Chains A and B, each alone.
Chain A
Amino acid sequence: MPSPPQTRNRSRGGGLGLSALVRRRLGIGLLQVLGVTLVTFCVVAVVPGDPAAANLGQTALGDPTIVRAFDHEYGLDRPLVVQYGLYVWHLLHGNLGQSQLTQRSVATDLAQYFPATLELALAAIVVASVLGVALGTVAAFFHNRLPDRLVRFFSLAGISVPNFWLGLIVFYLFFYKLRWLPGTGRLSPELNPPPTVTGMYTVDSLLAGNWTDLADSLRHLVLPAAVLGTYTLSLITRFSRVSVLDVLGQEYVLAAVGKGLPTRTVVLRHVLRPALLQIVTIAGLAFGSLLSGAVLVEQVFSWPGLGQYAYRSATSLNLPGVTGVCILIAVVYIFVNLAADIVYVLIDPRLASQ
């Protein structure tokens, strides 16, 4: 077969492959979300006690017509299967239940707390990815020499240290002892938060041109984001190192070095590009763990995000709150991984046809 048509065929196949891949992944993703709702439904269903009592306030509970209307609304007078159907129906309409903690809908609560956690997780993942790839690459180039050994030790330590403990140590050192950085909250109490656009203080203060708020919210972000990102940074470092080592042994890299290309070109074009494939996947997987890891870190730094909300909900038996956080994190995790898969194919179109 002559080669030009073959090339064209392959690239067309790649394009088709991408949309098929997205459709298939989307299907799996939706199934996953459904599964998560099934489990959260079961969690709520096994709880002994009266769901009406758990969901309605004291005054509403005194009124039999409201209780009956609630039972009917959620199908509590009907079989479990119907109840689950109604549960999903409500979820689809954005109704995650009522929070007794705040006397508002869980959806409203999540909308309030999510941006804080997202801001924390984004700061952590961005720093962890950039630094992790750099450290991993350096370690691979110095394979089995001192820089490599140091990176290996610290990245293993980074995945072994409990983040709530690291948070406490960092809090003690940089806030209590050295007084370099603020230790709790998102903004100093004397400042007014910027007008809400995204709910992320750094972005919002930037949009509003409020430099005082921007500097202050960035300073508040440093400690919790560093602690939250330590695990991810170590993970991405370990991955990048192995990926780059794999690539360094390939003949085309030797060839590139052999024909006298500058090191920078070889690293950027021949080594990092293929290594990035794996790193994109791992960063996607790690993002989900960042969101749930935030639960512990937020606790240490009194960061008013999803984790604190989930914690306060769990300890006050506000189950719709906890399950709402579960569903939200699962949905984010699934879609981040979908995005990672798509980026994967964009970096290497050959993978779409597999």
Chain B
Amino acid sequence: MSASAGGTAAALVDDGASPGVGAGAGAGSGRTLLGTLRRPGALFGTGVLLGWLLVAALAPLLAPASPTAPSAGTLLAPSAAHWFGTDELGRDVLSRVIYGARLSLPLALLLVALASTVGTSIGAFAGFAGGVIDSVVMRVTDMFFAFPGIVLTMAFAAALGPSLQSAVLAIVIVSWPPYARVVRGLVLAMRGSNYVAVSRLLGGSNARLLVRDVLPNVVGPVLVVATLDIGSAVLLLAGLSFLGLGAQPPAAEWGAMVADATQYFSNWWMGLFPGLAIATIVFAVNMIGDALRDYFDPRSLQRSDR
């Protein structure tokens, strides 16, 4: 997305492109989870994502030069020596793109882990408590949907000082609501189900019910939202760094690299490659997310919740 909608991004994307859910067509081989992930789109997405994870892990071995120290003349066009050219300080763009994966990917995963934990807890609590508590919590959740993600993040970054930490904190604050909404809907539906009633009759405590009976059924839909959310997290982080409110120089961060490139826009290679890195990761993650959604289909769950 535009790195902007933040939390709403997952909610928005979440109703997208599953082919023919209601049309009874195109289910194809997607009956099992493994089958779903073997479809060409998901396979491609998984491959690209694994590739980038590998690049992040092996960055020191793969990068031909230092990501932060100048290694050649400034603003050199791509050549055999510097495949992606060099930037305004003479740093090798390819090396910076490779090292950028070390920053963006772990941070995006951390963000999604934090947001999904917070959102799932809040949603499970609301759904389980029910009644007044549920409506109050869900109204608060609704409230967060109205937040303009990137602008609020800018306010945080301005208040706490521009750094990756304040960017991460701000992004978590705007991105937990979709999880809370999905989980709350599921828990609410499960609360009334027979197997939960049986478990309660057998003397299960609330905690046991929650952990043993309810949470395992929530994992799938949360996974779908989380997968799509990785893409939004990468975009938001890059967007904030683009504005100078995330990673600080000389860190090799893709958004910040695109920002540098706007100052030297005639040197197209400075901006093209870091942007392509962001786009390929987000594209791959969205393909996996689409496939997972076809499998779990939280579409219907979300709709019944409205």
Contacts and interface: CB of A to CB of B under 8 A. Distances in A.
Contacts of A168: 258, 261-262, 265, 271, 275
Given A156-B290, A296-B3, A329-B148, A165 B278 contact: yes
Interface string A134-178: 000000000110000000100111011111111011011000100
Nearest to A47: B159
Contacts of B13: 159, 235
Contact of B23 (A157, A248, A286): A248
A325 B147 CA distance: 11
B242 interface: yes
A311 B243 contact: yes
A165 B148 CA distance: 20
Contacts of A297: 2
B205 interface: no
Contact of B9 (A155, A289, A330): A289
A46 to B, nearest CB: 6
Interface in B63-98: none
Contacts, number: 233
B158 interface: yes
Interface string A274-295: 0000100010011011111111
Contacts of A242: 15-19, 21
Interface in B205-254: 231, 235, 238-239, 242-245
Contact of B155 (A35, A160, A241, A326): A326
B157 interface: yes
A313 interface: yes
A294 B148 CA distance: 11
A293 B4 contact: yes
Given A47-B159, A326-B148, A289 B25 contact: no
B279 A162 contact: yes
A346 interface: no
A326 B146 CA distance: 10
A295 B22 contact: no
Most buried by A among B17, B160, B238, B274: B17
B148 A333 contact: yes
Interface in A235-259: 235, 238-239, 241-242, 245-246, 248-249
A32 B142 contact: yes
A335 B290 CA distance: 30
Contacts of B18: 242
Contacts of B15: 239, 242, 278, 282
Interface in B120-136: none
Interface in A285-342: 285-286, 288-297, 299-300, 310-311, 313-315, 317, 319, 322-323, 325-326, 329-330, 333-334
A239 B152 CA distance: 27
B183 interface: no
B8 A159 contact: no
Chain A, interface residues (CB within 8 Å), range:
35 or more
A238 B286 CA distance: 13
A35 B235 contact: no
Nearest to A354: B306
Nearest to A326: B151
B16 A235 contact: yes
B1 A169 contact: no
A248 B20 CA distance: 9
B258 A155 contact: no
Nearest to A152: B17
A231 interface: yes
Contact of A39 (B6, B19, B147, B244): B147
Nearest to B18: A242
A330 B12 CA distance: 17
A31 interface: yes
Contact of A40 (B22, B140, B155, B245): B155
Nearest to A168: B271
Contacts of A26: none
A315 B162 CA distance: 9
A130 interface: no
Contacts of B296: none
B150 interface: yes
B139 interface: yes
A43 B20 contact: no
B268 interface: yes
A291 B13 CA distance: 17
A297 B244 CA distance: 14
A143 B4 contact: no
A20 interface: no
A144 B16 contact: no
Nearest to A167: B262
B280 to A, nearest CB: 8
B4 A289 contact: yes
Contact of A314 (B16, B157, B265, B271): B157
B148 A169 contact: no
13 contacts: A33-B146, A156-B290, A159-B13, A159-B282, A165-B271, A172-B268, A239-B15, A245-B19, A249-B25, A292-B151, A296-B150, A310-B154, A314-B157
Given A242-B17, A291-B148, A322-B154, 19 more contacts: A31-B142, A32-B143, A36-B143, A36-B147, A43-B152, A144-B26, A163-B3, A165-B258, A169-B272, A172-B266, A239-B15, A289-B4, A295-B4, A296-B150, A296-B239, A299-B243, A313-B158, A329-B151, A333-B146
Interface of A: 28, 31-33, 35-36, 39-40, 43-44, 46-47, 143-144, 152, 155-157, 159-166, 168-169, 171-172, 176, 228, 231, 235, 238-239, 241-242, 245-246, 248-249, 278, 282, 285-286, 288-297, 299-300, 310-311, 313-315, 317, 319, 322-323, 325-326, 329-330, 333-334
Closest 10 CB pairs of A and B: A293-B2, A289-B5, A165-B275, A35-B143, A293-B4, A249-B23, A292-B148, A238-B16, A160-B283, A160-B282
